[in-house]
Amino acid sequence: MPPQPYYDMYPSSVTMAGGVPVYVPLRRRPRSEDGGKIGVDASDAWSLDLDELRAAITPRTKVLVLNTPQNPTGKVFTRNELVDIAAVVKEHDLLVISDEVVRLAVCTAVIAAPAAS
């Protein structure tokens, strides 16, 4: 279950492991919510709707693939967002595959916290 948009290797990896990918989209906040201050490429412009995440989980769901910084949007999940995601993961007893390959390559003042933190 990777958030969309996603790195293109995730669906084939899930399929090769015998799973069926289920996608939960990241949503871009309307610019009107921030007075036009946050650009389309800004990390804060993207969010994961936890209700959508919960709705996508079924009894067959086993894994959540989490990518932060998220490729290709550049979304860096905040510690609070990760805590909220972790609560959903615990609630449904899911495993997390955390792709943090570019975690230290962030070119802003925001540093991505590892999902396991």
pLDDT in tens, the chain (117 residues): 555 566 677 788 888 989 999 989 888 876 655 555 555 556 677 889 999 999 999 999 999 988 887 777 778 888 999 999 999 999 999 999 888 766 666 555 556 667 776
Could you give the angle at the alpha carbon of 42 between the alpha carbons of 26 and 55, nearest 5°? 15
pTM over 0.75: no
Give how many domains the chain has, as a whole number.
Answer: 1
Q: Which of 10, 21, 117, 27 is nearest to 75 (CA)?
A: 27
End-to-end CA distance of the chain: 20
Q: Tell me if 83 sits within 8 A of 72, measured CB to CB.
A: no
The domain containing residue 96 runs over which residues? 3-28+37-105
Q: Which whole-number Å values give the CA distances from 113 to 14, 23, 30, 60, in the listed order?
A: 25, 23, 26, 29
**Does the residue 22 lie in any domain?**
yes
**Does the residue 84 lie in any domain?**
yes
